[in-house]
Amino acid sequence: MTKKQHIIRVVELFAGVGGFRIGLEGASDAYETIWNNQWEPSTKHQDASLVYKARFGSKGHSNKDINLVKTSEIPNHDLLVGGFPCQDYSVAASLSKSGGIEGRKGVLWWQIYRILDEKGEKRPPYIFFENVDRLLNSPATQRGRDFAIILASLADLGYIVEWRIINAADYGMPQRRRRTYIVGYHKNTIVAQKIEQIEDWVKFDGVMAKAFEFRTKPNSVSVFNIGGSIKEVSDNFNKGRKESPFGNAGMMINRNVYSVDAEAVYDGPRQTLGGNLVDENLVPEDFFINEEELPKWQYEKGAKKIKRVSKEGYEYTFSEGGMAFPDYLDQPSRTIITGEGGAAPSRFKHVIKTKSGRYRRLLPIELERMNMFPDNHTLHPEVTDGRRAFLMGNALVCGIVEQIGKSLYQFIYDEAPVSSRPIFKNREAEPMLDLGLFTDDKKELVINRPKKQHKLDPTRHLLIGLVKKDNENYFLIEEPTKIYYTGKTKNFPSTVAINKLYYFMPYIKEKGIRDLYLIRIVRIGSKAEIHPNSNDEEPRLVFELEYIQSLSEYVKIKLNKYWYKDTLLGRIFNKT
């Protein structure tokens, strides 16, 4: 194996499910994440940490409150990255109610500062952060103060900083998601030495400008200095003014700021919501919206004016405009929010109309595609579909990180980056399961506890699976327990909600379905468990089953072309 010529050691804070890591690894093999931290406060179930470890391994992973992590525990590194928590600036809440950098999670910025400060001469030469676009205008009472504090803090540590607010869809990516991206390099670095004119660097020559071309909006230049101590910046910056002095593109050197308002320039291929969807035949039944629920969704999406009364007793009219229903398939998706999951009607959740005319919600795999994550990146036996949607609502668009990572690499090494893990732009309409998504120490993917007296639950997921000819007699013999193995996993749809499966019915060709089983365990196994003489050790999904009851006669059911159907028990029993 050829030894890498360059290595950029990365530490990832507030890692989520690893969006920065995916983007940087997609940019260049030089980026190596050596340590990462993900901790979600106020929750026992650390979903993001579970996913991160499942995808990247436990080595160097910290699932501990960053406030309690000593700087000495963090290895020295070349690049510090992180999407530091942004709930206090989120567009989901009124700006006037956001606590800004002094809010409950805004204070976590000071953990980044603490680590950089305490590293001293060994602090990383490069930094790369992400936050919501509202950061540049926060808080409402003192526009731009929070960002000024961040820039002044970094300047005092010796960093030169540039930033851009980027809407991923403006550059051909599949989601309309506006976020602030911040890149910094210490004044002693090779990148800093390449800066000649701050104006030219922002507009044409810099890391951001090379990654995402733009044109400057007329009369938008803003030049100023952030003076005083951090306390004075906090107390006085832009006080009494209604607008932030920060444009959506800019740079800070020694607290001197140059910024403009940027307008995207892009003429390349564009991804759409429709181009990232899964074939309708592979969609589990519970993602479809039934006719009784459809009017509720139409109401939520529609324009409305509602009389309301405030806490003080004043009557006012709440109004909101209508939204596209269903969502446009020939455009990028709307911004994914943390509340995207769940079947309850919502104004903000995506709804699409299928070729058959039915309406449905987006699958977790489709939400991942909108953020340019690998298919089923968040698939984990212990993480629900609702939580998978929440994780994508908190994530960034990996393609943005990839482009900035490429640009930064070129500035450091003066050569084009090469990656063996680029982000895939074209997605399969019929994605198949990859057992590599499951770690070796998680052999049992689903465990359902059998009961002595089982009461049928029509809301539970039922998998119907074809029984191959060489296995039919085995399933026709009456026995209380059975083992069913899937075909080779490259022919098993990855959209099947494995962690929600509860029942199983074998499909006998030319007969249909009849016998109902409880799925006791789903695990990874092989065909050789049932047919030792086959010597077929190729990994497959194996279902350990317990017989419950039988229908009075066989019922014909339409399966997808891979001979599976993920549905709800009630839908089958309603047909019999």
Report the 10 Å Cβ neighbour count for 314. Answer: 8
Residue type, 425: K
- Residue 48, CB half-sphere, CA atoms under 13 Å: how many? 24
Cis peptide before 326 (omega within 30 of 0): yes
Residue 478 corresponds to which tokens in the numbers above? 């009456």
Q: How far, in Å, CA of 190 to CA of 194, rounded?
A: 7
Q: Using alpha carbons, select from 167, 129, 152, 155 the residue that is nearest to residue 248.
A: 167
Report the sign of the C-alpha dihedral through residues 232, 235, 241, 244, in that order.
positive
Q: Using alpha carbons, select from 481, 496, 503, 494 the residue that is nearest to residue 570.
A: 503
Q: How far, in Å, CA of 219 to CA of 378, rounded?
A: 45
CA-derived radius of gyration, the chain? 27
CA 266 and chain centroid, separation:
24
Q: How far, in Å, CA of 428 to CA of 432, rounded?
A: 9
User: Helices 19-27 & 398-413, crossing angle to 10 degrees?
Assistant: 50
Q: How far, in Å, CA of 423 to CA of 22, rounded?
A: 8
Pairing of strands 159-167, 178-186: antiparallel
Give CA torsion, residues 73, 75, 81, 84, to 10 deg: 0
How far the first Cα of the chain sits from its last, in Å, is 61
Is 398 part of the annotated catalytic residue set? Answer: no
Q: Which residues contact 9 (CB under 8 A, 6 or more apart)?
A: 32, 34, 75, 76, 77, 78, 79
**Alpha carbon separation from 196 to 206, 223, 254 (Å, rounded):** 10, 17, 14
- DSSP characters for 411-427? HHHSS----SSPPP---
Percentages helix, strand, coil for the chain (3-state, rounded to 5) are 30, 25, 45
Q: Is the separation of the CB atoms in 573 and 522 below 8 Å? A: no
Q: How far, in Å, CA of 375 to CA of 431, rounded?
A: 8
Q: How far, in Å, CA of 370 to CA of 364, rounded?
A: 10
Q: Is the separation of the CB atoms in 566 and 556 below 8 Å? A: no
Catalytic residue, from 86, 389, 433, 463: name it. Answer: 86
Q: Is the separation of the CB atoms in 333 and 350 below 8 Å? A: yes
**Alpha carbon separation from 33 to 11, 59, 74, 77, 244 (Å, rounded):** 6, 10, 12, 9, 35
Residues serving a catalytic function are 86
